[in-house]
Structure 1
């Protein structure tokens, strides 16, 4: 067991949401190797079995659907019974989905689904597990995205949900500091995870329901963004690069409040911070080859 556990928490137990694939699975396996007792939140039992085959005997898959209050409650009772008075060393809020499309065309049900998972689900899980984190003087790690700082066209629902995590993380960090609870936001750029394929599949489904006139209006710009997203997905970095930041946020005596992951995230963050909006708009329009004013 790493000797820095004692600097962060008397516990060695961590809960990770959305651990079936991608970043969540990579974090579960990496923390397991570091000696943490990992409770890996999954929705499909087959995903849990696959994780267990790759991990040590202490990793425990738990059914955890962040949009289902009963599932969250059952998971918390399971974890509480296992960790006892030691509580939790950390909660990694990783579960998330991506909704894409023109703002004018996306039904409110799709916007609500985006926020139900990425925002309200995160809040519900955090509220439920905070007593165990307080007991263990643990940490809360929220998985954001560079999209939360620098939104792209046709990605508004996803970017808005990740922007909300910026505000939630900042507020929570101050609210729980009296109990020595540290809160950090992980901000990756393009990471190779199944979310790219899932989003493209969803876009094809939504596309079939949109009015032809409106689709024709947005076709050129939306096509350019889909091409850019495909290229970004092909060049995305492996999910493993996120795990080092998560491990540092959980175990370091002085964790950062924010972790920018990947050169693309750093470039987008600094451009958004330093350049005027219209110059940023011009750069994105030129790079992605978006249509301009007719």
Structure 2
């Protein structure tokens, strides 16, 4: 059974990639979409591609004032009907060996990809409770199986898995569904931005760190670039988000893409050290 009465949905990080695809697909289905953006150009771009129902909202998920303002805007628009869905999508990516990762960058990764997700969810929960709405978190296969040189990303996505599980249990008394989407690599600009930042970081490393990790980091960057270019489409991920928001009994987890399903099998059946060798071998080849 599919829900036919379309309500209001907030999508964070809707400027590009998965967030943009989610916002546009939900708009086409008749939802009242509030698309979180951080600059006027992205707002205008979304409005040009969507119906009058889509409303861009300024939303910096790391800024409490911005979050409060977004909640107020949505509250005024939806009133007693409340909010049907919250899609926690916004995030950043960092590529670096953990030994060389600047603690400031690690803190930023956790702030954006974990703490801010919780802050946004806390803020919108009263509106979700009004309609027994749904929360959909965007995870990743690297939140199920850690990857070398993506340690901070993996840690953040593993945290999102726990956040999703705990929230699902805690909100069960109010009938609020919580799901997580677990895609393989997605062809979005996030990976290109991550590699650009990494190249600068590697350039600034002291000589001893370059000797230790220079070659391996370059291979990891090449692997990330290839995975991003050959990744699944953002629209494919958005379709799973739509399913989580519209089916009568949403799944707790949605694996998206053949690679994600293969990783899931590896986790279930391969011993840790064998799995390590497979992953290290693939990363070293830059594939």
TM-score (norm 1): 0.94
| Equivalence for 2:138 | 143
Matches within 5 A, 1:67-106: 67-106=62-101
Distance 2:229 2:285 in 1: 20
Distance 1:280 1:219 in 2: 24
Q: How many residues align?
A: 286
2:161 to 144, 166, 170: 166
* Paired residue secondary structure (1:104): helix
2:275 to 273, 280, 287: 280
Distance 2:281 2:200 in 1: 29
Distance 2:285 2:31 in 1: 46
Q: CA contact under 8 A between 2:148 and 2:280: conserved in structure 1?
A: no
Relative to 1, partners in 2 of residues 1:219 and 1:3: Cα closer, same or farther, differing over 3 Å?
A: closer
Distance 2:170 2:115 in 1: 18
What root-mean-square deviation, in Å, do the aligned CA atoms of Structure 1 and Structure 2 show? 1.5
| Equivalence for 2:250 | 255
User: In the alignment, is residue 157 of structure 1 matched against residue 152 of structure 2?
Assistant: yes
Distance 1:240 1:39 in 2: 18
TM-score (norm 2): 0.97
Distance 1:110 1:209 in 2: 14
Relative to 1, partners in 2 of residues 1:3 and 1:158: Cα closer, same or farther, differing over 3 Å?
A: closer
* Paired residue secondary structure (2:56): strand
Moved over 6 A (4+): none
1:241 to 236, 242, 245: 236
**Cα offset for 1:39?**
0.1
Distance 1:229 1:281 in 2: 17
**Cα offset for 1:290?**
6.4
Distance 1:288 1:158 in 2: 16
1:179 to 162, 170, 174: 174
**Cα offset for 1:231?**
1.5
CA-to-partner distance for each residue in 1:203-230, whole Å, 9 max, x for gaps?
0221232111111111222122112112
Q: CA contact under 8 A between 1:92 and 1:143: conserved in structure 2?
A: yes
**Cα offset for 1:286?**
2.5
**Cα offset for 1:88?**
0.4
Q: CA contact under 8 A between 1:13 and 1:39: conserved in structure 2?
A: yes
**Cα offset for 1:148?**
0.3
1:224 to 219, 236, 252: 219
User: In the alignment, is residue 193 of structure 1 matched against residue 188 of structure 2?
Assistant: yes
| Equivalence for 1:270 | 265
**Cα offset for 1:31?**
0.2
Gap regions ≥5 residues in structure 2: none
User: In the alignment, is residue 4 of structure 1 matched against residue 3 of structure 2?
Assistant: yes
Distance 1:78 1:189 in 2: 34
Distance 2:123 2:135 in 1: 12
**Cα offset for 1:275?**
0.5
Distance 1:289 1:43 in 2: 37
Distance 2:157 2:203 in 1: 27
